[in-house]
Chains A and B, each alone.
Chain A
Amino acid sequence: MAPSRGTQGTQALARTLHVTLDGHKGPVNVARYAKGSAKYILTGGQDRTVRLWNANLGTEIKAFASHGYEVLSITVAHDNAKFASSGGDRSVFVWDVATGVTTRRLAGHMGKIHVVEFNEDASVVASGSFDSTVRLWDLRAQSRQAIQVLEEAKDAIQTISIDSTTIVTGSVDGNVRAYDLRKGELRSDFIGQPVTSVVATQDCQTLLVTTLDSHLRLMDMSSGKMLNDFTGHTNVSYRCRGCFGHGEASVVCGDEKGMVWAWDLVDAKLLQPNPPPKVHGKIITWTEHHPNGEGEMITASADGTCKIWRHPE
């Protein structure tokens, strides 16, 4: 599965700062790679804007300013033609990237929307909110109503991961719920701690679950068993989104002290350097690895910057 898995050891994390994106005026809440070759980055911050960056040059291409409140989540469509963002203003904004205007504003949630996620062909966007519901919106038809509302969660939804047939949600009530569309089944795995992020592997068999007890857990989706437990960092009160490293051979997560931690996926050992250097002034809210495995990684932080990390040339 992972290209580098076979090679001896896991490839070291890209820890050389390539460029710093510091256009945001407040904490950066989310940073996402574009789809495809992923040459662009979208960041959303407390300053109510979504910004589009060139990842290679570090230049800001565009700022999308329509949000009235902070931006908490961004998701990019498969064709890079549109993206959706959400935040404090209780509606999901669907944007046209080229024109920079919102094509839809999907209102219906009662609280701030922590997460939005497209499905594979961006025909449905799922939004999870503080009101503990997940709403699934149809982007093909012009309907204003959600297709379906998933109300099983008892507390705020913090994260959603969608693969081809399953919608996985992580909630503050400590549950990871997998809605299997094919089987018509809801599997809820009780983690016991507020879940802040859920990232699925490419094969959709395992989930990386970040919880507020400074743990990252690798869960088996089919059985609900815990495959690995990654600890060492500090994450007790904020959403620090972790991710898989290059080739899904490692697990990477920023913590509340501004350090980026990396573990080996298989034996859950901390990779060197241990402890890692402090690279951000404040908590790292979002860590995302380049989707095509080029050894590139972005971190977004509450200190207002977003940093792109690469291997030294």
Chain B
Amino acid sequence: MSTGRLKRKLGDLGVDTSSTKANETFCLIGTPLPPLEKSKDSGEFVPIWKQDVRDEKGRRRLHGAFTGGFSAGYFNTVGSKEGWVPSTFVSSRNDRAKQKTTRPEDFMDEEDLQELKDNRNIIDTTDEMDFMGGTQAEKQRREGADAENDSIASVLEASMLPAPKDSAGARILKKMGWRIGNGIGPRVSLKQRKLQDLQAFTSQALSGDDIKVADDEEEASKHMYAPRDTPVIRFDRKDNFHGLGYRPGMSLNESLGVNGGKSSSGPNLSAGFGLGALNDAEEDDLDVYDGASSLRNRVAYDIADSQNDDRMSIGASSARGKTSSRSTPGMFNDGRLILAGFVASDKPVLEDRWYALPEVPKGWKPDPQRIWEQGPEKENIKQKSTALPHQEWKTSGPSADERGAMLGETPLPSAPRSVFDYMSKKDRERLKNIASGGAPTGPTPVPPVSLTVPYLEPHIASAALRGFQPFTSDPAKQSRYTSYIQSQADPTAYPFSLKPLPSQRMDEFNKELQDYSKAAQIFKPVSGTMAGRFTSATVIDHGPKIHEGLHTPSVEEIAAKEEEERKQKEENVSPKVHAARMGMYGPMTREMKPWQPARLLCKRFGVKDPNPPPEEEAAAPTFEPPAPDASFFATPVVPSTSERRDLSNIGLGEDESQGKDTLTYERPSMDVFKAIFASDDEDSDDEKDGKKDEEDEETEATVAAPKDPIPKDPVPSQVSGPVDMSTFKPMFIPREGKEKDKEKSKEKKKRKKEKEKKPVLVSFAMEEDIGSADVPLPVKKKRKDKDKKGRAKAKDDDDAMWVEKPAPEVVKDMEFYPPQDDDSTMAIDGSYAPARGRKRAIDFM
């Protein structure tokens, strides 16, 4: 918005906002110089009459009356010229609900609000429920009052304990349905509850008979109620100088033991005007709001007064005050201040109790060796016994079922069902028989296992010795394995000497030996012819050798490494770089690869596309077989085209010649027209140029053709595909640079033109003849073509680079070849019929 305004302003001033200078952006670097006019206190002396009061925003605070001006209140107080405007009366009848109560803040300005905010102290950040002791502070105070509780301990506790929260028990109780204020225990009837209430107040044992339940509570007594909370009896410590039994605020009657409390049964009359002593208290006069306070006001001796008295006593007030009950927090008894965070202890400092040293027996000598010797084991054993892994712990004690059995409980009904439960009794018995007859199983204590060395056939063992070593990664195990196998292979030379490992039980050792024997059977090498086909794999664990500590290579090491790197680099240098370094530029440093310039680029550079687009390329292969043989002639073009499926013939179905007429129609006719009507000087750069190679091939083919005894031979091959047309397009010299070429060929062209023109003219003139006499013409023409082509070839030779194409001939060839027995040529012929007709019309014109 502001920029818009600025722009408008600049526009008014005649500055061009769209110019680059005006649109330049700047950024400020550094601190700006202070403004010239002194807005802040610069430390200079200013006489009082020149000083002015400003607020934090630099606005003048005092105006008008204070400084002699008229604008009091206008500039920065009320903000309007008219000053305060009284709020106009608006009927709030319709929106009474909406009526907003005005708060003092509504009339405060920002400074006042700030002040208010500053004064507001954050009262309670821990608004947590604390049902037992009230707030933490209250609890603390009460505890501080307790003589039993050490004040330092309480302070420490208070500072270290987290904020009060529900205890775990309370939480559990709450989950069980207990609520704050209720007692704990089974639900009670109304009567019982009333009893409890009474007991709580009177604190004497009452029987249920003493309670009468009112009739209207009949309904209520049908329900059960939570019991009343158990009152915690709290004995207040006497810490004042009142007499026994006196409570502050007691009325005189009460203090005398007279039942004066009854006076309070009368209604409280509000203290006000117009009530005489004799006036009856009417309902309006009852003081509804003033309860306890008014009552307290009337007592003779008030606790507040007493406290005031205490404070106002004359003399060494502080000392006297302290002696009263307990020292005020923050002061020692002698009046010195206590360090912040500490509380003076109420208790006298306990004297340290000293015990006499035990008598040292005579002849005792300190011998730490004894303890050291037994030291470590002792501790370890202890630890082992205390910390059990979970698995052991689970199995160590009796299981739940066992415990249940011990206690004589009935086993749980959902005992695990085994397969046997689903078997018939007969089967079960049979199984039992089998089991008992077989291996000795069952929970019977296993007798100490004896060593059983599994037997391995010596030849297997010796083979296994030579074969794959399965435990190469564990050398210890491998050695045990080999020793076992050796003992099995040749028991006489190597008696069985393996012993169980110290931590191994005998059955584990047996298991290990069995594993070994199995491994030996598995890993024995394949025998016979198969053996030669395999080589045993070996696991070699050669990790990198690790040097401990920081790697600090020495200077020589680094130098050696660098040297090596350099050498390696030199070795890695490719022959190309090497040749370049030696200055042997040439084939060694040259790299050639094909590169496809963009078509547009070729056009802009006036160069023909080196690799013409694929559609033209596709045409070349169809043409490639010159096929001057009779067989090809006999089965003309169709197979060759049907072989190649490209974009040009996709979608034609089986009929290859379908639509060929349209394809062939367009292109040659253009060329023909050009050959006939266009002047030869005219260049058309944007015509796509055929490929030179193709031309060469083509001329080759056409030249080769006459050698063939059958004169019509090349015809089908040329007519074969519509794509051929593109390659037969005339070539134009594309660049100015080749001007002389053009010049050179000009007269040639002229000569040729005459020749070309003639046949073309003839061709059109002979159209009538074609209709009448088809066959003789091509033969005649062919001969003409022959020598023309020969000439073309000769011309090719003299300027091989840029070939002036004898395109029209080709076109003619195609055009005027009479229909063959081929479908496609027929089609072509057919296609020309309309053209011919049209041309004839032109001719007539």
* A119 to B597 CA separation, bound complex (whole angstroms): 15
What residues on B are CB-neighbors of A190 within 8 Å?
576-577, 579-580, 589-591
**Cβ < 8 Å to B, chain A residues 201-231:** 217, 219, 223-226, 229
* Max chain B C-beta neighbours (<10 A), residue from A185, A188, A192: A192
> Contact mask A145-181 → B, CB, 8 Å, 1/0?
0011000000000000000110000000010000111
- Decide: A184 and B604 in contact? CB cutoff 8 A: no
* A182 to B589 CA separation, bound complex (whole angstroms): 22
> Contact mask B589-633 → A, CB, 8 Å, 1/0?
111111111101110111111110000000000000000000000
- Decide: A165 and B607 in contact? CB cutoff 8 A: yes
What residues on A are CB-neighbors of B608 within 8 Å?
182
> Which residue of the partner chain A has the closest CB to B801?
A182
* A291 to B531 CA separation, bound complex (whole angstroms): 84
* A10 to B294 CA separation, bound complex (whole angstroms): 131
> Which residue of the partner chain B has the closest CB to A162?
B605
- Decide: A188 and B590 in contact? CB cutoff 8 A: yes
- Decide: B596 and A184 in contact? CB cutoff 8 A: yes
* A214 to B287 CA separation, bound complex (whole angstroms): 115
> Which residue of the partner chain B has the closest CB to A165?
B607
* A187 to B587 CA separation, bound complex (whole angstroms): 11
Range, interface on chain B: 20 to 34
- Decide: B576 and A186 in contact? CB cutoff 8 A: no
- Total CB contacts across the A-B interface at under 8 A: 95
A148, A164, A189: the one contacting B585 at CB < 8 Å is: A189
What residues on A are CB-neighbors of B38 within 8 Å?
none
Known: A164-B737, A191-B589, A224-B589. A181 touches B601 (CB 8 A): yes
* A217 to B584 CA separation, bound complex (whole angstroms): 12
**Cβ < 8 Å to A, chain B residues 397-418:** none
A181, A186, A188: the one contacting B607 at CB < 8 Å is: A181
Distance to closest chain A CB from B24 (angstroms): 11
- Does A138 sit within 8 A of B, measured CB to CB? yes
> Which residue of the partner chain B has the closest CB to A140?
B604
What residues on B are CB-neighbors of A217 within 8 Å?
585
- Decide: A119 and B604 in contact? CB cutoff 8 A: yes
Range, interface on chain A: 20 to 34
- Decide: A186 and B600 in contact? CB cutoff 8 A: no
- Does A268 sit within 8 A of B, measured CB to CB? no
Known: A148-B597, A165-B607, A189-B585. A181 touches B602 (CB 8 A): yes
What residues on B are CB-neighbors of A174 within 8 Å?
580
What residues on A are CB-neighbors of B592 within 8 Å?
185-188
What residues on A are CB-neighbors of B611 within 8 Å?
184
- Does B243 sit within 8 A of A, measured CB to CB? no
What residues on A are CB-neighbors of B577 within 8 Å?
190, 192
- Does B177 sit within 8 A of A, measured CB to CB? no
**Cβ < 8 Å to A, chain B residues 679-694:** none
> Which residue of the partner chain B has the closest CB to A188?
B591
* A219 to B598 CA separation, bound complex (whole angstroms): 27
What residues on B are CB-neighbors of A187 within 8 Å?
590-592
* A138 to B577 CA separation, bound complex (whole angstroms): 36
- Decide: A164 and B602 in contact? CB cutoff 8 A: no
- Does B834 sit within 8 A of A, measured CB to CB? no
* A119 to B735 CA separation, bound complex (whole angstroms): 14
- Does B370 sit within 8 A of A, measured CB to CB? no
- Does A124 sit within 8 A of B, measured CB to CB? yes
> Which residue of the partner chain A has the closest CB to B610?
A184
> Contact mask A238-265 → B, CB, 8 Å, 1/0?
0000000000000000000000000000
> Which residue of the partner chain B has the closest CB to A150?
B595
What residues on A are CB-neighbors of B598 within 8 Å?
136, 147-148
- Does B581 sit within 8 A of A, measured CB to CB? yes
- Does B776 sit within 8 A of A, measured CB to CB? no
- Does B34 sit within 8 A of A, measured CB to CB? no
Known: A184-B611, A190-B577. A179 touches B595 (CB 8 A): yes
What residues on A are CB-neighbors of B605 within 8 Å?
119, 124, 164-165, 181
* A180 to B590 CA separation, bound complex (whole angstroms): 14
What residues on B are CB-neighbors of A191 within 8 Å?
580, 585, 589
- Does B368 sit within 8 A of A, measured CB to CB? no
> Which residue of the partner chain B has the closest CB to A148?
B598
- Decide: B610 and A138 in contact? CB cutoff 8 A: no
A138, A164, A180, A229: the one contacting B600 at CB < 8 Å is: A138
* A290 to B608 CA separation, bound complex (whole angstroms): 33
* Max chain A C-beta neighbours (<10 A), residue from B593, B600, B608, B609: B600
- Decide: B610 and A182 in contact? CB cutoff 8 A: yes
- Decide: A185 and B591 in contact? CB cutoff 8 A: no
Distance to closest chain B CB from A139 (angstroms): 9
B583, B594, B595: the one contacting A229 at CB < 8 Å is: B583
- Does B586 sit within 8 A of A, measured CB to CB? yes
- Decide: A183 and B610 in contact? CB cutoff 8 A: yes
- Decide: B580 and A147 in contact? CB cutoff 8 A: no
Known: A165-B607, A184-B596. A189 touches B601 (CB 8 A): no
> Which residue of the partner chain A has the closest CB to B600?
A147
- Does A16 sit within 8 A of B, measured CB to CB? no
- Does A237 sit within 8 A of B, measured CB to CB? no
Distance to closest chain A CB from B541 (angstroms): 43
* A225 to B601 CA separation, bound complex (whole angstroms): 28
Known: A164-B735, A192-B577. A186 touches B594 (CB 8 A): yes
A147, A180, A226: the one contacting B601 at CB < 8 Å is: A147
- Does A123 sit within 8 A of B, measured CB to CB? yes
What residues on A are CB-neighbors of B610 within 8 Å?
181-185
- Decide: B594 and A225 in contact? CB cutoff 8 A: no
> Contact mask B703-747 → A, CB, 8 Å, 1/0?
000000000000000000000000000000001010000000000
- Decide: A138 and B604 in contact? CB cutoff 8 A: yes
- Decide: A226 and B585 in contact? CB cutoff 8 A: yes
What residues on A are CB-neighbors of B591 within 8 Å?
187-190
Give me 9 A-to-B residue pairs in the complex whose CB atoms sit less than 8 angstroms apart, sorted by A's number.
A119-B604, A147-B600, A164-B606, A181-B602, A185-B592, A187-B592, A191-B585, A192-B577, A226-B586
Binding site for A on B (CB under 8 A): 576-577, 579-581, 583, 585-587, 589-598, 600-602, 604-611, 735, 737
Counting from the closest, the 5 A-B pairs by CB-CB distance are: A184-B610, A192-B580, A224-B590, A186-B595, A226-B585
Binding site for B on A (CB under 8 A): 119, 123-124, 136, 138, 140, 147-148, 164-165, 174, 179-192, 217, 219, 223-226, 229
Q: A182-B607, A217-B585 are in contact. List 4 more A-B contacts (CB 8 A).
A: A174-B580, A179-B595, A184-B596, A226-B586
